Amino acid sequence: MSKKTWPESQATDALEQTTAPASGRRFSVEETVVRPDSLERGRTAVDVERTTASLPAGGEAQAPASTLGRYVILGQLGSGGMGTVFKAHDPDLDRTVAIKLLHGTAVGEARTRMIREAQAMAKLSHPNVVPVFDVGAHRDDQVFIAMDLVEGTDLRAWIATRRPWPEVVDLFAQAGAGLAAAHAVGLIHRDFKPDNVLLSTDAATGRLRAQVADFGLARRDEDPEAPADAIEAAGASALDTQITRYGAIVGTPAYMSPEQHAGVAVDARTDQFSFCVALFEALYGKRPFAGSTIEELAARARSGQREPPPRGSEVPGWLHRICLRGLQPDREARYPRMDALLAELQAGRVRRQRRWLALGGTLLAAAVAGGTALAMTGPGVCGGGAERVGAVWPAERRATVEAAFAATGLPYAAGAWAGAAPQIDRYAQEWKDMYEETCASTQVRGEQSAELMDLRMACLQHRLRDLDALLELLGQADKQVVKRAAEAVAGLPGLQGCADAEALRSGALASRPVADPARSEALRERLRAARAKVNAGKSKDALAELEATATEALALDDPSLTAAARHALARAQREAGNDELARTTEAAAIWQAVADRDDETLWDGLLSQMFVVGYKLGRKAEAQPWVDHAEALLRRRGQPDRERAQWLHQVGMIAIAAGDNAGAEAPVSEAIALYEKVYGPEHPRLVNLVNVLGASKLRGGHYREAQQLFERAVALDEQAHGAGHPDLANPLNNLALALERQNRHAEAIAALQRSRAILEAINPKDPNVGLIRQNIGGMLQLSGKPAEGLVELMAAQQHLEETLPPGHVALAGVFTFIGDTRRDLADYPGARVAYVRGCEIRESALGPDHPDLGLCLLGQAQVDLLEKDPAAALRRVDRALKNVAASTPDPGDLGMMHLARAQALRATGAATEAAEAARAARESLQRAGAAGLRGLGQLDAWEAAH
């Protein structure tokens, strides 16, 4: 029998409502300037509630009589430390505006500061920033700024009334978005406080809208210190002027960061500190740092000695931790960017929304209140992992996914769900454990820097969103998703990378500037959704989206996204069958990952390139540089077990593609042992590797070992997918072949019939049904029932020709089987036609020297001998032996080739050479065990006759 192993497949990682704010007068402080020399004298008590900025010479602003420039004054709105605000009408554009007029004469630093505010705000166009329309002079010595008139109140007045924490978070998230927009264009506010956030009602939504105002202290974050007069003399933009001299303190004391108190350079994280002071105040009704003097405030801010939350507060622990992170004295320990803090706020809001949907308001309040003590003290600070992952994987979502699987009507849907659900549970549990360990390493034990915790948490957040994207797909499962559910879950990005400090610090998640963070994150969400489709076997559906995502990522120049998008596209191309295009795309992804120091994508890309080039395309030499590159990366990363197992897996697959089955056994065996160590002995990832090792043992003549491996593969596959899943056809078919080699034909046919029943129940037109029937026919022929075998084989030929393209390589096997059967029925012309057709298909698809031509050439040589043409038989069998020489052929097949050669040589008079060939035949057939008994009988009979 010409035996065919099933083609090896590739298996694809409490505190919740605020108390009322403390009573007291509203702050009038807008800005305080304290010179270094004042700090060297006795520590004078300064009332930080009343301290105001030094006013320019000239005292209060002189109010215009009726007009200011082209603007018609309608009335005064208010007055602050720096200026007076009027309501005015712009007759040119027929709109009402707010005019801010500087106190006193606009000369020197005051004039520069006002112009800076106008230019800073005019640079921003964001819904959460008050827009500036115009800047001008009144009476030549007073500067005014025309800006949008925000009809409403400010955040200070709003928080004076008791507010639930979700409402506070909503408005602060908007204000934070305004700050992030300023930071994105290089501007720092330097005086963020509730007074500088204006609130109005959005006409479209009816909801409150927060807008940041008063960028009078803003400057470019990269600007050097420079005297104002020098800048003005040069005619430069006033926005580029550093008006506060070296050592000066600028800001409102109660909200100032330690670096502002120290009079040193500030950056965007300075605004983050002020933001978190205001957020803390809004949540708890008191500020985090107590003090009646500037010195006391500065000392508390530097020491990190924060006021505790009031007893009974319902602000959740995760929100309190965000405040604490932003209030760190060392700015390196704060969030690296404002948008990172906002992402944490958004994640918490999403979790809360999902939990409300799942539990209802009453149950939610009870659950949160029960966790209050743990959320604020000791290890409980890091107890939020279950809450976070539970928001993504609640019981209701589990029920939705299970119902979606059942709705497909597939006979194996229940089994597929039973296999996938525990994998999801394990991933969720591992995520929770790593989240809490990451937090505890920094917040509880102090073993890890805040910077590394931030990177690890960002990595885990990405992983959680990947899980969310997959669950979204599973919740809308169709037949293809159900079929690949176990592989889709196994394909989730591994969590191990979130513990790799070196890779995190240098890789794609390291803090790097992004031109458009919002667009980048939206693109990443699209990538997650498309990647989930690829994992679930819907690559063709994802191709267009991934092509667009990769193109947009490249144009956006986001170093954390481009390589990942290209790699995902390459994988989709590979899964869709376009290996050459996948090879090219993956190479680009690899070099992008090298440039971006993105080891995670680099590793995945190298493995993919090994598989495509070395296994699917069969180009071992071309694949070797990728193998070497992956091995070098593996050594640099310390050869972790999981990654080494992945590398060995692909090394084994390349050896198999090259026909070196013996060479594949060592790496595949080691890979299995490592996977068992990492995932346990029953993980679905093992199915493919165990099946591959079984195939190698089968081809090497170790049939009993092969049988045991295939039996294990069947059991693993049943556990992962259920008893009726189509993937079971793979190891069942191979199990049948291992049984056949031991002459256990009845058991082999039973395994094949089970495989056929599974496939036909799902799709009677599946080409694999034809392949199974082909093998059943071959088994019947070997068991001495060629006529029955021929019936089955002719049905298999018809099925394959109806379901496969003309000339498909899978058709070659059935013709070789038909040739064997017709030969046994003494239909030699019919046998020759079948053998020739099998060789033509294989040669066209694989080339003239491929080992797979060996059996159809052997068949033709056997017919030549039966028809008394030994010379032709010798030519064909010598070619067959040459083709299989570079591979590890089945010893039974090799023995039959040597036997045919011995017969041909004897018939042409080369008796000595015939005897040598006969000895080689006997040696190979004896190594074949039970599968070689039939051939040994033929050899004995032939030798006895000669």
Active site residues: 191
- Cα separation, 43 vs 359, in Å, equals 55
Decide if 725 contacts 479 (C-beta within 8 A): no
The position carrying tokens 């006969």 is: 918
Measured on CA atoms in the order 429, 431, 437, 442, is the torsion positive or negative? negative
Q: What is the 3-state secondary structure (H, E, C) of 665-677?
A: HHHHHHHHHHHHH
Taking Cα atoms as reference points, which of 369, 356, 349 lies closest to residue 167?
349
Among candidates 296, 254, 302, 260, which has minimal Cα distance to 276? Answer: 254
- Tokens representing 431 are 């995520």
Rounded to whole angstroms, how far apart are CA atoms 487 and 642?
Answer: 17
CB atoms within 10 A of CB 594: 16
Contact 163, 282 (CB under 8 A): yes
Q: Show the tokens assigned to 236.
A: 């430069």
**Token output for 730:** 């793979």
Q: What is the DSSP letter of 201?
A: E
Are the C-beta atoms of 126 and 178 separated by less than 8 Å?
yes
Contact 6, 729 (CB under 8 A): yes
Q: Are 854 and 884 in contact (CB under 8 A)?
A: yes
Q: Count how many residues are written for the chain.
A: 946
In the three-class reduction of DSSP (H, G, I as helix; E, B as strand; rest coil), residue 86 is classed as strand
Whole-angstrom distance, CA of residue 484 vs CA of residue 417: 10
Cβ-Cβ contacts under 8 Å for 885 (sequence gap 6 or more) = none
Distances (CA, A) of 398 to 304, 358, 394, 531, 919: 43, 12, 6, 21, 64
Residue 89 forms beta bridges with which residues? 72, 96
Tell me the C-alpha distance between 669 and 27, whole Å.
73
Is 60 exposed, middle or buried (CB count within 10 Å of its CB: 0-12, 13-18, 19+)?
A: exposed
Separation of alpha carbons 693 and 672, rounded Å: 9
Kindly compute the dihedral angle of the four CA atoms of residues 203, 206, 207, 208, in this order, to the nearest 10 degrees: 50
Burial label for 389, CB within 10 Å (0-12, 13-18, 19+), is: buried
Spatial separation of the C-alpha atoms in residues 161 and 208, rounded to whole Å: 15
The pair of three-digit structure tokens given for residue 72, joined into one six-digit string: 């018609």
**Interior CA angle at 705 toward 704 and 707, to 5°?**
65
Are 759 and 772 within 8 A, CB to CB? yes
Cα–Cα distance between 494 and 150 in angstroms, integer? 49
Q: Is 538 labelled as part of a ligand binding site?
A: no
DSSP secondary structure string for all residues of 208-240: EEEEE---TT-EETTPPP--HHHHHHTT--GGG
Contact 382, 443 (CB under 8 A): yes
Binding-site positions for ATP read 100
Binding-site positions read 100
